[in-house]
């Protein structure tokens, strides 16, 4: 009764995790006809009423005998609600540029979700077992996974791509041999899927070639991989809780197209949490994106940690990361890259009185005032949105950059094109044309957050200097 007892206990735990009343809920059972799903259906038949069980079978359209197998599964489900569909997985794979294995996985979950919604069932149950778990952990290890991948499959989790539904795996702690023995003991006659031996599939090569080879070094490798998954799952749960609390501390705003984080607070997080919150920002916009590579994430992280305002980095899934004023933005291509940055309403020059202010688009503002500040404080200014100008720089305007216009960087005698400064500082192209330029009648003096002109330098004997600030909406 090992299988029955463990399946019963894991079902109870899954129901508690999901907050679902097991005595009343309907469950969609994914049944391929193999020994794992057949044993699952038999056990569920002992634990639940026939009215609660809905059998679902997907014909992947990959083998000539698959249509006959669908009829066999329908016979196995006699007396229960039954749903079957045929999907041309090869066509799905070609259209979506996926491997056959990945396309089959997506098609299965989509089909099971359709059945669940049609029947009003909140839960899908599959027959994944300990052997599947060992293979999954090893696959993730070979592909360079982090902890989330090394925990493998979870006994209860949201259905991938369908977060309104639950996916339960009550056989996850049981081995393939236990399930096969249960089928023999109860005179269950599972179907044989010849594609499970096809070396064209990566999982099959891993199951039939790599794992047996590893067993020559570690005879208990399968069990150790499943133990690793259990250990990592507990640690990952702790880290997920810590990540959620960090996220609450740094989250600014977001929608379907973007997530904005508090830049300074994000930069103050430990390295592990900086990585995890970036992944969470990506997941918020691309919940179905499975492969977020280490290199792409690290490149983006370094830009986020070191980049000046306007710096950008590409992310998987058609996303991009950009550094804004006090904010770190992860957004889709449809999101305006200039959003959250200072922009002129038009490029037309407007006077900036001292003291006084000029309003920009989106609630931003440039302010000017005369102040008496110790020269050491001016020299030590690290706020890129505040600049100090020599007292004679009083006749100022705020305007857009002119074609081919140059600026003389602080500390240098030579000049460089403003456009090149913007490119070098990775300012988004969409934000360059209307980026505010503070200038005299003769030359630019300040590009907020980017560069101060040498000719506007404050000298030690200057008094009553001009302080300029570029303020975001929440500080105006």
Q: At what angle do helices 130-142 and 221-250 cross, to 10 degrees?
A: 60
- Which of 138, 140, 108, 118 has its CA nearest to residue 37? 108
Nearest CA to 36 out of 205, 183, 194 is that of 183
Enclosing H/E stretch for 66:
helix 66-76
Q: Is 18 annotated as a binding residue?
A: no
72 annotated to bind ligand: no
**φ/ψ of residue 254, rounded to 5:** 180, 170
307 is known to lie in a ligand binding site: no
Give the torsion through C-alpha atoms of 409, 413, 414, 415, to 10 deg: 40
Sheet with strand 396-399: strands edge to edge: 350-352, 396-399, 437-439, 444-447, 451-452
Question: CB of 49 within 8 A of CB of 134?
Answer: no
Determine the Cα–Cα distance for residues 193 and 71; give it in Å rounded to an integer: 14
The residues with which 53 forms a beta bridge, in sequence order, are 27
428 is in an annotated binding site: no
End-to-end CA distance of the chain: 70
- Phi, psi (degrees; rounded to nearest 5) at 431: -100, -5
Binding site per annotation, positions for ATP: 32-37
Binding site per annotation, positions: 32-37
């Amino acid at each position: 009764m090992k299988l029955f007892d463990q399946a019963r206990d894991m079902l109870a735990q899954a129901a508690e995790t999901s907050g679902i009343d097991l005595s009343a809920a309907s469950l969609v059972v994914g049944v391929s006809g193999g020994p794992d799903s057949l044993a699952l259906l038999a056990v569920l038949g002992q634990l639940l009423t026939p009215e609660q069980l809905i059998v679902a079978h997907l014909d992947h359209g990959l083998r000539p005998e698959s249509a006959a197998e669908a009829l066999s599964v329908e016979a196995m489900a006699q007396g229960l609600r039954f749903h079957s569909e045929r999907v041309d997985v090869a066509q799905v794979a070609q259209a979506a540029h996926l491997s056959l294995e990945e396309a089959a996985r997506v098609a299965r979950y989509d089909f099971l979700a359709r059945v669940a919604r049609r029947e009003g069932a909140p839960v899908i149950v599959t027959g994944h077992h300990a052997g599947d778990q060992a293979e999954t952990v090893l696959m993730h290890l070979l592909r360079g996974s982090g902890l989330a991948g090394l925990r493998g499959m979870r006994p209860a989790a949201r259905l991938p791509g369908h977060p309104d539904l639950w996916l339960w795996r009550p056989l996850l702690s049981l081995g393939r041999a236990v399930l096969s023995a249960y089928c023999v003991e109860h005179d269950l006659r599972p179907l044989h899927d010849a594609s499970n031996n096809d070396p064209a599939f990566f999982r099959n090569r891993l199951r039939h070639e790599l794992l047996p080879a590893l067993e020559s070094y570690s005879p208990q490798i399968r069990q150790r991989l499943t133990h690793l998954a259990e250990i990592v799952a507990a640690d990952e749960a702790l880290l997920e809780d810590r990540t959620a609390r960090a996220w609450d501390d740094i989250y600014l705003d977001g929608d379907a197209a973007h997530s904005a984080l508090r830049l300074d607070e994000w930069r103050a997080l430990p390295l592990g949490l900086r990585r995890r919150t970036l992944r969470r920002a990506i997941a918020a916009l691309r919940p179905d994106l499975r492969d977020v590579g280490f290199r792409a994430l690290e490149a983006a992280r370094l830009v986020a940690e070191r980049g000046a305002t306007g710096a950008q980095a590409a992310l998987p899934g058609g996303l991009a990361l950009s550094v804004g004023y006090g904010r770190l933005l992860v957004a889709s291509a449809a999101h305006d890259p200039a959003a959250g940055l200072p922009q002129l309403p038009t490029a037309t020059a407007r006077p900036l009185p001292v003291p006084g202010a000029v309003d920009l688009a989106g609630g931003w503002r440039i302010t000017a005032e005369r102040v008496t500040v110790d020269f050491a404080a001016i020299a030590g200014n690290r706020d890129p949105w505040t600049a100090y100008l020599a007292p004679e720089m009083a006749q100022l305007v705020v305007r857009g950059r002119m074609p081919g216009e140059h600026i003389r960087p602080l500390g240098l005698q030579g000049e460089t094109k403003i456009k090149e400064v913007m490119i070098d500082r990775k300012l988004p192209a969409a934000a360059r044309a209307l980026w505010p330029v503070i200038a005299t009648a003769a030359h630019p003096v300040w590009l907020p957050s980017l560069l101060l002109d040498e000719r506007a330098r404050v000298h030690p004997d200057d008094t009553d200097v001009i302080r300029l600030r570029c303020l975001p909406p929440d500080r105006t």
